[in-house]
Each structure stands twice: as structure tokens, then as C-alpha cells.
Amino acid sequence: MSGDKLIHVTDAEFESQVLKADKPVLVDFWASWCGPCLAIAPVIEELAGDYDGRVVVAKMDVDKSPATPGKYGIRAIPTLIVFKDGQVVEQITGAVGKAVIESAINKALS
């Protein structure tokens, strides 16, 4: 992963990278044309560094991988979902502050 703490997942990799992960995974469902998605991108990158080793932080481009967002009923982006042991434990829709996302991550870690 070239030192980048953030991973990019596709529909094909979702099960192995997210559902079968041995730690909680925060997935940012986004698109390149989505202003709010781009606005929270630096926060997502910061969280990837803050939680490195404890939480996997992943981004999924909904235009390139439409099956997974469809499966989870995602209608609006950005949507952030925290998965733990293959299950959805938290879901946040919209551009929110870092504290809101941290709270969701911390619930999954507890």
C-alpha cells in the first residue's frame, strides 16, 4: 500500500478487505463529482492516520463500484459505514465533523 494508510476498495475486494477484516473498518462511500465528499476527504485521511493499526479506513467510489452501495441501501453520499466482524455497526450520511466520525469509530472499538 505504498505507505498510504487509506485503502481504496472495489466491489470485488469488499468482502476480503472489509467484511473479513480482523478489525473495525470505516468505509467512505463517495464520488469524484460530490462536493461534500471532497470536503470531508481530508478528515477521512486524517482519521486513517489517527487510527492506524486499530481501524482500517477505506474509500469506495460509488461510480466505479455500484453493487456494494446498492446492497447497503446507500441513496446519498457521502455515506460512512463502520463495519465490525462483517456487520454494520454505525452509519453516517452527509458531511459531518471529525468528532461525529470518531464517536462512531470509538463505539466499534469498545
* Residue positions annotated with a catalytic role: 34, 37
d(CA 54, CA 24) in angstroms, rounded, equals 8
* Strand pairing category for 87-93 and 79-84: antiparallel
Query: Cell numbers of 87, please?
Result: 456487520
Distances (CA, A) of 95 to 30, 32, 35, 70, 88: 11, 14, 9, 20, 19
